[in-house]
Structure 1
Amino acid sequence: MVHGRDSSQALVEREQLYDIHGHCLLAIDRVTLTELLLNELESLPNVKLFFRHKITTIDLKQQQIQAKDENLAERHCQNHHLEQQDISQHVFDLLLGCDGTHSAVRTSMMRSSRLDYSQTWVDILWCQFTIPAATAGSFTTPSASNGFSVSPDHLHIWPNNEMMLMAIPAADKSTAGTLFASLSTFAELERNPSQVEHFFMRNFPGAAELIGLESIRKQFEMNAHEPLISIKCSPHVYGSCAVILGDAAHAMVRFYGQGVNAGLEDVQVLFRCLNESEALDLGLGHALECYNAERVADAHAINDLAISNYWEIRAGVRSRYHLLHKAFEEVISRYAPFTGFVTQYSRVSFSNQRYSKISYHGHIGPTGDTPGLARLEDTFV
């Protein structure tokens, strides 16, 4: 749902489909997802969970790690003494580094091998805002229903050429909004917080009223102003004993909604490689080599796709030329299915195609090896 004003300056909202086939996105908040996954892990008899254990040392060559039990450390600190039992040592056969953007496992791999690494801080910060559930007399949009202040069945975007506000309805009938803007914009608002309400009114029609004029400034001041980082590295494995997955291997900006999906896909590909290698009795080293050969290219591709999609959602959704171009793509997809063409967004979000193949074929491309597609692709790109 795209929000804005019409030629008479009245507030309007316009539904914009993801594709001509009626596909939609399903959203879940990370806390709920984490709880579901932890509950599943706890039910497995061969899994033991250690909470609040911080990895302090990783020796990849000896395949050992040391972990600090912060629960014990806190108690000992309160008693004004430290004990060696705060630190435990563990030997591993395979270390899975799913430890996020500032991965200790990745850092250890960089020290122990020739690992190419690059990170880019994007000139954008983000800050979260909450649109509360609807109450009697509160401001709502025309599409609001079921106690929500906005439509519960849409992703909501307030586009702007240089910034944007995005909002996703939550299960408790609130809506989680995120402001994306340049560092200079955030700096100006931090210097003059009294201008926050006017900033939202000027750039995101109706959003200030939805968030609440009495709370929007407080939310801006209280909530963190977080940076966006893009990370690429290669390889994603160390010998036959370590592999990094998720943000540890490919932290990306949030503009394609593929961060968690890409991480879960890492796990899917890794387990496929492990199972295939086990069936052929080829060992862990072969499994990790196969994983790395497939996954690095895909990780780099979705990183690039996520950055390029920022323009589309902050400006493209209200560009007549872009919308015409998108309509043309959709017409080809629907009325000329024999070509095998599907839009880039649909291929990323609604298929299991590899990110690297989608990126290689360009903004609009073939889904398979249909004869003649190369010539058509050259024509339409």
Structure 2
Amino acid sequence: MSTQQEVSRPAVPPASGAWRAGDPAGGRCFVRIGDVPLERGGRLDNVEMAYETWGTLSPTGDNAVLVCHALTGDSHVSGDAGPGHPTPGWWNGLIGPGRELDTDRWFVVAPNVLGGCQGSTGPSSPAPDGRPYGSRFPYLTVRDQVTAEVALTDALGIDHWALVVGGSMGGMRALEWAVMQPDRVERLFVLASTAAATGDQIAWCSPQLMAIRCDANFRGGDYYDAGPGQGPHNGLGVARRIAHTTYRSEAEINLRFGRLPQQGENPLGGGGRFAVESYLDHHADKLVHRFDANSYLVLSQTMNSHDVGRGRGGVAAALGRVTARTAVAAISSDRLYPPEQNAEIVAGIPDCVPLRVIDSPYGHDGFLVEVERVGEILVELLGEPAERELVSS
């Protein structure tokens, strides 16, 4: 498997038009990891992984931390918006000198997930024939994504991770890391996630996928040669509206918006919008300008595939393989990945501290919003020695 590292070329632009070929890569680095075998059979050829780093790897390689992003996140965990990065870091404030992930101590690595659209091989990437994969991009599972990240880890010369951390979809990958590669994960931190996708989560995902596929501009997934603004943006926007509703809590939406009209508009027969509709429109518009619809499909289906117990004797048996010192945090108002599903992870992992429930009104997005509380748990888990007891909250 090739491990030739490339660090200077521009990132692959997503189909949404957020980037153009030749734009700066925004600090990303790139590694060609060769062919990735897939769980369903076959392989994905000549895969490239994009990633960002903070800090310096120690001479003994014992200070590496892997951060796994959620569905529409990317490798830009920390930092300002700018060329190559349409939005600021999604966990701004956690990484840097003296911060919770102190870069004077830790070497932090954040890859863009396999199947994504922010530099790693995905549907908008060129296939071996030079044309974008589009509809030809294979079905991926979470295990395939971790297989690619294992190859990236090898290419970077990292023997093991002092910590693997992720929330939501990133939590799925973090958990798979600890099950697939127990000897390479010293500590594990899973936030607002689950051991296996449930029927309810798959049900919420289904209309999102249908909205994209039913967009007339989707063209079966082969829309990359369409002109500016001709991609399946309407369908992706509808998908984002549905998803974002599940990311926030009912109580917050009612308290924040209620039945208020959008300022200057009349929703009662006047063709205007309620304030909550304007809010969802805003988040839909933001996403379609920075994300690829095909990647949204691929990654959503990947999340539906998530089941650590598949082929391993069930969830409990799979979680029993984890040897990492583990912390799991749930968000009190999360209706997408509720606390009881996070509690199942805690119950199955032998060396896991009691479930941390972060009290937050923000629903599932609390794992992104409640940065201070997340940081407190990180600091405790990373304390020396690794096996020390954490005080339960």
Query: TM-score, normalising length from structure 1?
Result: 0.28
Larger relative helix fraction: 1
Q: Which has the higher strand share?
A: 1
User: Could you tell me the TM-score, scaled by structure 2's length?
Assistant: 0.27
In our comparison, the structure showing a higher alpha carbon Rg is 1
